[in-house]
C-alpha cells in the first residue's frame, strides 16, 4: 500500500488537470492521444503523466492519456496500429511489445511493419534477490548452489512473459544452471511470495525488493543492467560478478503507426528528448526507479529489432505461447 500511495502522490505532483484530459473528452482539439497499454497507476501510466505537461507545452496540444490494458499490451498496440498515421496517436510501450510477436499466435498487427519508432523513453534495471534462508550473498555463490541443487531452487517473476522472466532466463542461460520458474500475477504477489519463503529468489523491479533490504527480509545479489542502479548502488551488477557484458533491463518507449510523416515523428522525438532533460521529470522517474534514456527514431527502430531477436530466441527456446 505504501508504494501505491507514493505513486499516487507523484501523479498529483506531475499531472496538472490542465494538461491531462480524460480519454474521450470532447474538448480536446488537436489532442495528442497517448495510448498506455497498462492500467492506471503503474509505471508506464506514471511515465506518461510525467511527460504530459512539458510535451503539451512543446507541441501546443492537449495530452490525452488513453489506458488500454490487456493481453500483454496487445489491445493497446492494436488500437494504435488502426489509428490514423497523422502523428496524433502515440503508443507508450514496454519490453513486452518485443516479446509478443514470438509468444502470440496471430497478432492483429505486424509489430515491425505497422509501427514506426519515435524514441526510447526510459529504462530500469531488474534485481536478483533471494530469501535470507538461502546461504548465498554473491552471484558466484548463487550459481554454485544452483549447480549443487539442480531444479531445486525456485525463482518468482511478475508475469510469464514480462521483462523479469526474460532477464532471469538470460541469467540462467549465461550461468548454465537449472531453476524452476514461478510466474505470478504482478510484482506485488511475487514479492509477497519471496518474503514468505515460498520462492527461493526473485527477478523483479528494484523498487519491489529495495524496501526490504535494510531489514534483511530479502538479500540483494545483483542487478541486471550494465551499470549499477542509483536506487541500490551497493548492489553489484551481474556483469561485474563474472558475466561480462550481461545486460537485461526493462525499458519503455514510444511508437506511432507506420506511414506517419517523418517531420511529425521527428517532432515527437525531439519533444520527448526535451522533456526528459527537465529536472522535475527526471526526479519523478527516479522516484519509481526509472532512468531517462532517449533515442532518435532510427536508433529506436534498430533497438526494437534487436530486442525482438533476443527476446524471440528466449521465448522460442522456452516454447512459450499465448493463444
* 144-191 pLDDT per residue, tens: 999 999 999 999 998 778 888 889 988 999 999 999 999 886 778 889
Say yes or no: 254 and 109 in one domain: yes
Range of the domain at 102: 2-123+249-318
Q: Please tell me the predicted confidence (pLDDT) of residue 313.
A: 86
How far separated are the first and last CA of the chain, in Å rounded?
33
Measured between alpha carbons, how far is 15 from 29 in angstroms, rounded to an integer? 19
Say yes or no: 258 and 118 in one domain: yes
Q: Please tell me the predicted confidence (pLDDT) of residue 16.
A: 43
Say yes or no: 78 and 147 in one domain: no
Instruction: Choose one of 191, 207, 241: the last residue of a domain.
Output: 241
Say yes or no: 132 and 229 in one domain: yes
Say yes or no: 283 and 177 in one domain: no
Q: Please tell me the predicted confidence (pLDDT) of residue 185.
A: 67
Q: Please tell me the predicted confidence (pLDDT) of residue 9.
A: 44
Q: Please tell me the predicted confidence (pLDDT) of residue 10.
A: 42
249, β-bridge pairs: 125
Q: Please tell me the predicted confidence (pLDDT) of residue 128.
A: 97
Task: Say if 323 falls within a structural domain.
Answer: no
Closest by Cα among 122, 82, 115 to 97 = 115
Mean pLDDT by 10 residues, the chain (323 residues): 42 43 47 90 85 95 91 91 96 91 90 97 94 97 97 90 87 95 83 95 89 95 92 94 93 96 97 96 85 96 94 83 68
Closest by Cα among 301, 204, 280, 312 to 51 = 280
Model pTM score: 0.75
Q: Please tell me the predicted confidence (pLDDT) of residue 323.
A: 59
Q: Which three cell numbers stand for residue 17?
A: 488537470
Amino acid at each position: 500500500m505504501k508504494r501505491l500511495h507514493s505513486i499516487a502522490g507523484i501523479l498529483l505532483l506531475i499531472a496538472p488537470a490542465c494538461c491531462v484530459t480524460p480519454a474521450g473528452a470532447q474538448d480536446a482539439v488537436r489532442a495528442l492521444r497517448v495510448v498506455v497499454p497498462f492500467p492506471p497507476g503503474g509505471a508506464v501510466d506514471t511515465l506518461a503523466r510525467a511527460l504530459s505537461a512539458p510535451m503539451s507545452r512543446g507541441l501546443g496540444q492537449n495530452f490525452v492519456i488513453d489506458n488500454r490494458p490487456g493481453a500483454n499490451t496487445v489491445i493497446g498496440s492494436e488500437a494504435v496500429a488502426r489509428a490514423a498515421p497523422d502523428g496524433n496517436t502515440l503508443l507508450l510501450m514496454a519490453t513486452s511489445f518485443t516479446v509478443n510477436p514470438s509468444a502470440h499466435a496471430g497478432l492483429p498487427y505486424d509489430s515491425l511493419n505497422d509501427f514506426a519508432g519515435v524514441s526510447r523513453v526510459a529504462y530500469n534495471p531488474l534485481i536478483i534477490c533471494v530469501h535470507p534462508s538461502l546461504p548465498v550473498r554473491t552471484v558466484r555463490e548463487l550459481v554454485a548452489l544452483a549447480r549443487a541443487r539442480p531444479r531445486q531452487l525456485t525463482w518468482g517473476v511478475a508475469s510469464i512473459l514480462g521483462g523479469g522472466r526474460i532477464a532471469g532466463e538470460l541469467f540462467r542461460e549465461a550461468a548454465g544452471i537449472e531453476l524452476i520458474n514461478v510466474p505470478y500475477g504482478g510484482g506485488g504477489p511475487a514479492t509477497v511470495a519471496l518474503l514468505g519463503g515460498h520462492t527461493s529468489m526473485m527477478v523483479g523491479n528494484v523498487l519491489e525488493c529495495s524496501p526490504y533490504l535494510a531489514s534483511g527480509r530479502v538479500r540483494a545479489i545483483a542487478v541486471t543492467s550494465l551499470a549499477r542502479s542509483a536506487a541500490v548502488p551497493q548492489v553489484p551488477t551481474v556483469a561485474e560478478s563474472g558475466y561480462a557484458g550481461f545486460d537485461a533491463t526493462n525499458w519503455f518507449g514510444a511508437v506511432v503507426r507506420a506511414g506517419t510523416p517523418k517531420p511529425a515523428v521527428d517532432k515527437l522525438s525531439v519533444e520527448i528528448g526535451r522533456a526528459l532533460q527537465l529536472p522535475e521529470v527526471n526526479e519523478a522517474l527516479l522516484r519509481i526507479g526509472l532512468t531517462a534514456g532517449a533515442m532518435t527514431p532510427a536508433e529506436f527502430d534498430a533497438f526494437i529489432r534487436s530486442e525482438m531477436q533476443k527476446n524471440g530466441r528466449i521465448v522460442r527456446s522456452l516454447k512459450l505461447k499465448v493463444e
